Structure 1
Amino acid sequence: MQKHHRQNLIEHFKEIRDPRVKGRCDHELVDVLMIGLCCLLCGGETFNDMEDFGKAKRKWFKTFLRLRHGIPKHDTFNRVFAALKPEAFLDCFMRWTQSVRATVADEIVALDGKALRRALEQGQSPRVIVSAWAAGNSLVLGQIQVPDKTNEITAVPQLLRVLELSGCIVTLDAMGCQKEIAREIVEADANYVLALKGNQGQCHQEIKAYLEDAVARHDQERPVEKNAVALAYKETTEKDHGRLETRRYWQSGDVSWLADRQQWAGLRSVGVVESVRQVGQQAPTVERRYYLSSLNVDVEKFARAVRGHWSVENSLHWVLDVQCGEDRNRARSGHAAENLATLRRLALNLLKRESTKKRGIKGKQLNASWDHDYLLRLLSF
């Protein structure tokens, strides 16, 4: 993985091109971005929050920002985030992220989309942001907004091309199980584990039939025959808050029978995961999910990739909605929604990387709002 020179956030922000007319701005771009970021780090959510936060902390901000004309109004925050080019802001975000990202062997990078449910005009569909979540680093590596009137299939390849994925295992849900996406991942010198459902009709039917037969024979513990299917197997059990869940993983390296195997770049294995879940005295539910993968047979690695993918829901999307108020935010003019989503993910990265406070995200936000030294510590990562 390429190493990046580490700069502080102000230096990174200074490299972003200001979209406003030079000489006609009362507030420097770096001041607007830093006040906005600090507001989010302390639990704020809206442009009004940013104005009030800046006024309350003006004396402190003056110690490292110019603030030539004081604290910007909320309308100024809105106009700046609406005008700022998302590509330029994302490039800044990704350069900072790469500068602090640690090398993790077989890093699980989960790509998944999330709707900004209230950032829309009447009659519009919600904007969708696809994020790349590095589970081992607990970092958002990058994001991209899905273009209007399209879906995640069009956005994922664009995001893959700008990420540094060498040596990683990229995971996607069934929407991202596409031949073009598999090729992009392999060309990025990475592996993939792609969930497979009915959107790949014939392929899904073939793999389901093959693995169901193979699992049935495996479970009957028949002696190994000449034509028997060799399956790698792993089982885990989790018990928490009255819920008992058993997961069984099977993986096969035999893909010679798959009709369109040559169209899936780097395809080396197929797998199935069975989840048996029981809550209290209710009858257990059983679900099987099927996967295509470029991994060689290694059921431990396969299981880690499957489980790692769901961390994007629990560690990113849930936190963005519950702790950072993303679903409540109504910023929608120009590029404001997309740029705020990037700033929100930057704030979350900073909060997750700080480890001296043994508290959750909300607790760290409270500490940052109370303690200037702690807020500066967050900004130093």
Structure 2
Amino acid sequence: MRLPCGPLHIARAWATEHGVALGQVATEDKSNEITAIPVLLGQLERKKAVVTIDAMGCQKDIARDIVAGGGDFVIAVKDNQPKLAAAIASVVEKHLEGELQARRHRNYQTDTHGHGRRDERFHWVAQVPPGFAAKGEWPWIKAIGTAVRITTHADGTQSDEVRYYMLSRFLSGKRFGEVVRGHWGIESMHWVLDVTFGEDRTRTRQRVLANNLSWVRRFAITLLKRHPEKDSIRGKMIRCLMDTSFLNEVLTLQGN
């Protein structure tokens, strides 16, 4: 029997507030994450949860399933949904021009310093206005949001980034900002998987084995993150190699 081989794409769920891997689903051969996300959502309890997904997950079926399961969504919107992106951009432009000042909207701003740079983040969320162009196709959208980040680097240069979002609930500005930051915190997990665990360098081509190894790595990250020791993931891994007592604490969650 020949086992399936080839590139493996995986849709993953991560509880950002607790640093716990909730689940993952490998895509079918010659498919992508869009088909795996609904399967993964079906395995999770969504009631009262806020589900965040990047722009690939900006699909009508996915939005409907999240709301049907009792949850809410904050999903990034990009050019893969051009009509929706244009409708949101139009609302934001009208707000900036002062045409929508009467509509309910909320703001939240943060200013942080670290790693040799300054990050100013501006979050704006508003109820969907009457006549919203995409309302008919996306009836689950109750609010739209914008997240702007302006980064001042050590050499004085600046860079900026603007993202649009659709929301199923009119969140507070602070909560919207926390959700957006929490989602992009997942990128730090991907960095750990790549740099610390060498996931991108793996040459495992057998799909079932690759999926199982991916699960093991995420389980390891969960255990290491939940240990209260103030150290990096790599530092904790090295200590586990050198100290069996510490390894036992990590494996049994005794340090919590």
TM-score over 0.5 (shorter chain): yes
The answer to whether structure 1 residue 329 and structure 2 residue 212 are counterparts is: no
Q: Which TM-score applies when normalising by structure 2?
A: 0.90
Answer with 284-293 or 178-187: which moved more: 284-293
The alignment-based identity, stated in percent, is 37
The answer to whether structure 1 residue 200 and structure 2 residue 81 are counterparts is: yes
For 2:227 and 2:180, locate their aligned partners in 1 and report how far apart those are by CA, in whole Å. Answer: 27
For 1:286 and 1:358, locate their aligned partners in 2 and report how far apart those are by CA, in whole Å. Answer: 32
Q: Which TM-score applies when normalising by structure 1?
A: 0.62
Higher relative contact order (CA 8 A, sep 6+): 1
- Within-5 A mapping of 1:237-276: 237-276=111-150
Residue matched to 1:104: none
Residue matched to 2:103: 229
Q: Are the equivalent residues in 2 in contact too, given 1:368–1:375 (CA < 8 A)? A: yes
For 1:187 and 1:203, locate their aligned partners in 2 and report how far apart those are by CA, in whole Å. Answer: 21
Cα drift, residue 162 of structure 1: 0.1
For 1:363 and 1:281, locate their aligned partners in 2 and report how far apart those are by CA, in whole Å. Answer: 31
Residue matched to 2:238: 366
For 2:93 and 2:160, locate their aligned partners in 1 and report how far apart those are by CA, in whole Å. Answer: 14
Structure 1: gaps of 5 or more residues: 1-81, 84-119
For 1:333 and 1:207, locate their aligned partners in 2 and report how far apart those are by CA, in whole Å. Answer: 42
Structure 2: gaps of 5 or more residues: none
Out of 194, 208, 223, which is 1:350 matched to? 223
Cα drift, residue 362 of structure 1: 1.4
For 1:331 and 1:207, locate their aligned partners in 2 and report how far apart those are by CA, in whole Å. Answer: 42
Deviation string 1:195-225 (CA, Å, 9 cap, x unpaired) is 111111111111101112203328xxx9x6x
Out of 317, 332, 339, which is 2:212 matched to? 339
Amino acid at match of 2:244: H
Q: Which has the higher strand share?
A: 2
Out of 142, 145, 149, which is 2:26 matched to? 145
Residue matched to 1:106: none
RMSD over aligned CA atoms reads 2.2
For 2:205 and 2:44, locate their aligned partners in 1 and report how far apart those are by CA, in whole Å. Answer: 27
Question: What secondary structure sits across from 2:218 in the alignment?
Answer: helix
Amino acid at match of 1:277: T
Question: What secondary structure sits across from 1:127 in the alignment?
Answer: coil
Q: Are the equivalent residues in 1 in contact too, given 2:125–2:170 (CA < 8 A)? A: no
For 1:216 and 1:230, locate their aligned partners in 2 and report how far apart those are by CA, in whole Å. Answer: 15
Amino acid at match of 1:172: I
Amino acid at match of 1:344: R
Cα drift, residue 350 of structure 1: 1.2
Deviation string 1:84-121 (CA, Å, 9 cap, x unpaired) is xxxxxxxxxxxxxxxxxxxxxxxxxxxxxxxxxxxx97
Question: What secondary structure sits across from 2:73 in the alignment?
Answer: strand
Describe the shift of the 1:159–1:265 C-alpha distance in structure 2 as closer, same or farther (beyond 3 A): farther
> Which structure has the larger Rg over C-alpha atoms?
1
Q: Which has the higher helix share?
A: 1
For 1:277 and 1:373, locate their aligned partners in 2 and report how far apart those are by CA, in whole Å. Answer: 43
